[in-house]
Amino acid sequence: MNNFFCLVLKIALLWWILTEGDVSSWTVGIPCVLAVSLLKRRYLPETMPCIKIFAFLSFIPYFLYQSLYSGIDIAKRACKPSLPIQPEIWRFSFREMPDKPKYFMAAILSLMPGTLSAEICPDHLLIHSLIYTESQEDEMRDLENRVARIFGIEFSKEKAA
């Protein structure tokens, strides 16, 4: 039922955007949103976990900050030969989660300057970094936690360490 409610909200949001927020359109919109939601649920298989909108919206400033910070750092290193660039491929072990959040995390990581998801495996991710530091494991765990929140995944406490 929770996934259905989430689906109705997404389709209602789409309706609101398409009608430019016109309140009078809801006389037709409410039946259409419910009909589309029921048809989608009945005839199309579930392809994506319910994304938590507020978690996704709070992720955007984090992503923009990390991208800007990393981009400035990489630009400094490229322009100043005295700053080290030490490329390295390293392994990050995923905690238990479905595949789609893993792929999302790998894609986000590849969009950040100085990093690339080299290979996605069921239990780990191979990452190519221009600069490897000890804090990168913690930064990746933070990214994993943020992605998990977007997809509504809760990790058990013993695996969180």
112-156 confidence digits (pLDDT tens)? 888 999 999 999 999 999 888 888 889 999 999 999 999 999 887
One domain, residues 101 and 154 = yes
Domain housing 21: 2-43
DSSP state of 93: E
One domain, residues 78 and 13 = no
One domain, residues 99 and 29 = no
Give the integer Cα–Cα distance in Å for 58 and 73.
23
- What's residue 47's pLDDT? 61
Judged against a pLDDT cut of 60, whether residue 160 lies above it is answered with: no
Judged against a pLDDT cut of 90, whether residue 45 lies above it is answered with: no
One domain, residues 127 and 60 = yes
**Mean residue pLDDT across the chain:** 88
- What's residue 65's pLDDT? 94
Q: Is there a domain that residue 80 lies in?
A: yes
What is the average per-residue pLDDT within 34-39? 90
Domain count, the chain: 2
DSSP state of 86: B
- What's residue 159's pLDDT? 45
Judged against a pLDDT cut of 70, whether residue 96 lies above it is answered with: yes
- What's residue 132's pLDDT? 84
Give the integer Cα–Cα distance in Å for 56 and 89.
28
Read off the pTM: 0.68
Judged against a pLDDT cut of 80, whether residue 8 lies above it is answered with: yes
- What's residue 66's pLDDT? 92
Q: Is there a domain that residue 34 lies in?
A: yes
Distances in whole angstroms, Cα of residue 62 to Cα of each of 32, 41, 150: 36, 33, 13
One domain, residues 70 and 117 = yes
Q: Is there a domain that residue 48 lies in?
A: no
Q: Is there a domain that residue 144 lies in?
A: yes
One domain, residues 7 and 71 = no
Domain end position, chosen among 43, 61, 76: 43
DSSP state of 159: G
One domain, residues 71 and 109 = yes
One domain, residues 37 and 61 = no
pLDDT digits (tens, 9 = 90+) for 56-76: 999 999 999 999 999 998 999
One domain, residues 21 and 81 = no
One domain, residues 36 and 73 = no
